A and B are shown apart, each in its own frame.
Chain A
Amino acid sequence: MIKSSFSNIQSEYLALIDHTKCVRCKRCIQNCGWGTYSFGGDKILSDHTKCVACGRCYTYCPEGAISIVKNPTVIRENGNWKENHIKSIWKQSETGGIVISGMGTTFKYKKYFDHILLDACQVTNPSIDPLREPMELKTYLGKKPSKIELDFNEEGEPILKTKMPPQIELQTPFVFGAMSYGSISLNAQKAMALAARALGIVMNTGEGGLHDDLVPFGKNIIVQVASGRFGVHRDYLNSGIAVEIKIGQGAKPGIGGHLPGEKIGLDISRTRMIPIGTDAISPAPHHDIYSIEDLRQLIFAIKEATNYEKPVSVKVAAVHNIAAIVSGIVRAGADIVYIDGYTGGTGAAPNIIKDHVGIPIELALAQVDERLREEGIRNEASLIAAGSIRSSADAVKAIALGADAVAIGTAALIVMGCHVCGKCNTGNCSWGITTQRPELVRRLDPEVYGERLYNLISAWSHEIQEVLGAMGVNSIESLRGSRERLRGVELTDAELKVLGIKHAGL
């Protein structure tokens, strides 16, 4: 171990090997993307400083000989000067740089979903058994007219005159959140594409373009247009079911992205339409959108390019004035608004942004839904809520607060083995998810993890059906925006007011 700097002196975890159990099969050396393990002639050696506790080695150790433990050597505890402060200062004093990491914030902010409780029927109305009665989760995303237009034939029968704007039909109110090819591996994207097709839902390309292998999955893909415009051309816009303009991301509102040149191999270069080895830099703003009227132009440019056959979604991060911002986006012509809360994930973001910018999705969503209703334009766009939906319970609560559907990002990666180690930015993901190293990517089998994603969303859908049944309704649209079925616990009056719900007991 080289003790070259303060920040390396103390490893966060210890990778301990029980040499009485170890059979020296060296699987751990092969599995670890971080180079923690090496063979010392007669036994496996660990370089603890490299361990990120991603869990790959002990999952695949046939003898159960590995334990990853938190390093018991303390950095002296201090309620004010915490470990992350001290380590960041060391790191920055040595490098002069911004501290970057992957995934969402690790700060323990108040999670509003955990302070919201659901209602159920007792006596005065019957609950419904989803095993015996139909229980509908089908969801349509897109602009809805405020009223139907009818003609009547000679017999007086109604004939539909309304031409419905394009809709995305979801069999269950989940979508996979945007994760680009480049930030994650192609195999990870394929797993989501397979699952989305089997489930009747959609995945999202992120800003990395659409790889040729994913083109056949077009009906289950939203293609994204972000500030870097990587991989965007006319066929790309028309190859999915919808187009999403990415303005911001919950984990890093207000800033762009940077995929370093060493990750841009042949395949990514083709898909993103940039030279091999060049940095893929997404500017902080779209340089053709400096105001809301510019967004309107881009929305309609995309609608023109897609012959008004695809809904256009706009993705924004939840920031302080989100209600007014979304109102503007809806009036600018968006069919779907995707709101990403501050705990959302990312492939890489500065900690200062990730940990301190934005607001919780629960509060943002509640305010946006209320504002759109006050303005009488809630029907003009569907809302997708995102930013660490951890369970079907979070999904149910988001829908009752006003979301049409929720997006799953980190949870989908956890299905593929992710232990939320937060080192996506390094490209060494041992699980083959956030890496482009062929030997690591190869180990992620799209069919195996596609099926597990299918299982997860199916399981969550069953759970939502159980909740709907307990509430005595048999269709998801009767839960959507129905805040009367929610109650708060341990929330202040101000929090309850923002959420638009009552305290439990009332």
Chain B
Amino acid sequence: MLKLKNKFSVERDISGCGLCGIINAKKVKTTGEDIKKAISVEHDRGNGLGGGFAVYGNYQDYAELYAFHIMYDNLSAKGNVEEYLKNNFIIEKEEPIPTSKTSKIKDHPYLHRYFMKPKSDRQDKLFHDLGDDDFVVQSVMSINEKYDGAYVFSSGKNMGAFKGVGYPEDIADFYKLDEVEGYMWTAHNRFPTNTPGWWGGAHPFTLLDWSIVHNGEISSYGINKRYLEMYKYNLSLKTDTEVITYIFDLLVRKHGLPIELATTVLAAPFYQNIDKMDNKKKELLTTLRQIYGSALLNGPFAIVFGYSGGMVAMNDRIKLRPLVAATMGDFTYVASEEAAIRAICPSPDLVWSPKAGEPVIVKFEELVAQKGGLIGL
């Protein structure tokens, strides 16, 4: 049993970590070599029990289709899930995810990917009027919760997550990421403290085209989880990272907040600072805190968050975890340690340490990274 899902009797998974992100604002692609080199510098930030990557722009030929990456513990699980998929999706292509045998990754689940779109006459249409995205979210949650031995770890368009148990540089070799190209990469090296050897627990955590790598522990997990459950999110994985992904999904996709504003919910400015702002800004941010107080992520974190429009890297509101950013031409790099950036970009144009709660936001087709966020504190 490879433990795709969290079967430990803990409410949630706790880990320390290292992370990296690379984005090219003009969508120039790089292979997985760079990100692997950068994250391998942060080797000691993990303990070999989880590593992973997210890449955007890697499925150019299937850009309009949802790319599901699914891990299976056994073939009967595969059969059950595929029956569900065939009933509800038009599967344009399916294949095993390419891997190479390496001595570093010993046991691994069966890894398969599907390129598909939801059927327009799927059965649930009789009962619901869900959009395609919402149906995909529901399908991912339902497979992850109800199908024993199966776990969807990627479900976005023209992007994919590649992760598992091992050091990230070994995971990169296992998935042959040197042959994969993308214009945005994130990587994660995991140091779990209570749930070892769990393939599903590696980062990035993804939903649709949201992907999150995360270093930290969300001390407000209890209320964040209950808040999301009120909006019918099913937190089957019991990880902090899952919470962050769903909060972004709720705020940005469902409630229509701009990314910049969503980050002020996650790392809300203190009232003592809000009170000093001009009236309009003060009213906006006070209202956000009143409405979304339960979505405030409290406790130490550094996250790199990717989506189809770009990348966001940010710290908690008092910066309890490291995060460094750098730019070089159209490239923006973020990492837990400056050394990781310098390993692949020895003399960047600009290097800085983002302040507490201030996001680094890079959007495609914008030439420079915004230093600081909407709210300059």
Contact = CB atoms under 8 A, between A and B. Distances in A.
Given A124-B217, A379-B291, A473 B255 contact: no
A225 to B, nearest CB: 26
Contacts of A475: 268, 293, 296, 298
A481 B223 contact: yes
Contact of B223 (A126, A146, A167, A478): A478
A478 B255 contact: no
Nearest to B254: A147
Given A125-B216, A147-B291, 19 more contacts: A124-B193, A125-B217, A144-B291, A148-B287, A148-B288, A148-B292, A156-B258, A160-B283, A373-B226, A472-B217, A473-B219, A474-B317, A477-B296, A478-B223, A478-B298, A479-B223, A480-B293, A481-B226, A484-B11
A277 interface: no
B132 to A, nearest CB: 22
B85 to A, nearest CB: 30
Contacts of B255: 147-148
Contact of A473 (B254, B258, B284, B298): B298
Interface stretch (A58-66, A132-140, A443-451): A132-140
A263 interface: no
Given A472-B299, A475-B296, A475-B298, A144 B223 contact: no
A478 B11 contact: no
Contacts of B217: 124-125, 472
Interface string A240-270: 0000000000000000000000000000000
Contacts of B230: 373, 376, 378-379
Interface string A139-161: 01000111110100000101110
Contacts of A159: 280, 284
The 9 A-B pairs at the shortest CB distance, nearest first, are namely: A484-B222, A482-B222, A477-B293, A478-B220, A478-B298, A472-B219, A482-B223, A473-B298, A125-B217
A162 interface: yes
A310 interface: no
A500 to B, nearest CB: 9
B290 interface: yes
A133 B230 CA distance: 31
A148 B298 contact: no
A471 interface: yes
A145 B9 CA distance: 35
Interface string B213-241: 00011011111011101110000000000
B103 interface: no
Given A144-B291, A160-B287, A474-B317, A124 B11 contact: no
B357 to A, nearest CB: 11
Q: B217, B219, B226, B298: which has the most chain A beta carbons within 10 Å?
A: B219
B299 A125 contact: yes
Interface in A107-142: 121, 123-126, 128, 133-134, 136, 138, 140
A483 interface: yes
B271 interface: yes
B296 A478 contact: yes
A506 interface: yes
A474 B298 contact: yes
6 contacts: A150-B261, A158-B257, A164-B290, A478-B220, A479-B223, A481-B226
A373 B257 CA distance: 23
Nearest to A133: B318
Contacts, number: 118
A424 B137 CA distance: 60
B270 interface: yes
Interface centre among A121, A164, A474 (most CB of B within 10 A): A474
B241 to A, nearest CB: 14
A219 interface: no
A134 B272 contact: yes
Contacts of A478: 219-220, 223, 296, 298-299
Contacts of A162: 287, 291
Contacts of A158: 257-258, 261, 284
Interface string B251-294: 00011111001000000101110000000100110011111111
A125 B216 CA distance: 7
Contacts of A140: 290
Q: Taking each of A123, A126, A502, which has the highest tally of chain B beta carbons within 10 Å of its own beta carbon?
A: A126
B109 interface: no
Contacts of B91: none
Given A473-B220, A473-B299, A480 B270 contact: no
Interface residues of A, number: 45
Nearest to A160: B284
Q: Which of B226, B227, B268 has most chain A Cβ within 10 Å? A: B226
B291 A121 contact: no
Nearest to A125: B217
Contacts of B290: 140, 144, 164, 167
A264 B9 CA distance: 62
Contacts of B231: 376
B294 A477 contact: yes
A158 B288 CA distance: 12
B320 interface: yes
Nearest to B194: A124
B271 A136 contact: yes
B348 interface: no
Interface in B141-176: none
A485 interface: yes
A121 B218 CA distance: 11
Interface in A481-498: 481-485
B280 A160 contact: yes
B298 A126 contact: no
A476 to B, nearest CB: 9
A482 B271 CA distance: 21
B219 A373 contact: no
Contacts of B219: 121, 125, 471-473, 478
B300 interface: yes
B287 A164 contact: yes
Contacts of B293: 475, 477, 480
Interface string B30-46: 00000000000000000
A484 B238 CA distance: 12
Contacts of A128: 318
B14 interface: yes
A480 B294 contact: yes
A123, A124, A481 — most chain B CB neighbours (10 Å): A124
Contacts of A373: 226, 229-230
Nearest to B285: A160
B347 to A, nearest CB: 33
Contacts of B270: 134, 136
B221 A145 contact: no
B372 interface: no
Contacts of B14: 124-125
Residue of A133, A378, A481 with highest tally of chain B CB at under 10 A:
A481
Nearest to A135: B270
B16 interface: yes
Nearest to B191: A124
A83 B175 CA distance: 78
B169 to A, nearest CB: 24
Contact of B221 (A138, A144, A484): A484
Interface in A429-480: 471-475, 477-480
A376 B300 CA distance: 29
Contacts of A125: 14, 216-217, 219, 299-300, 320
A167 B300 CA distance: 30
Contacts of A147: 254-255, 291
A483 B296 contact: no
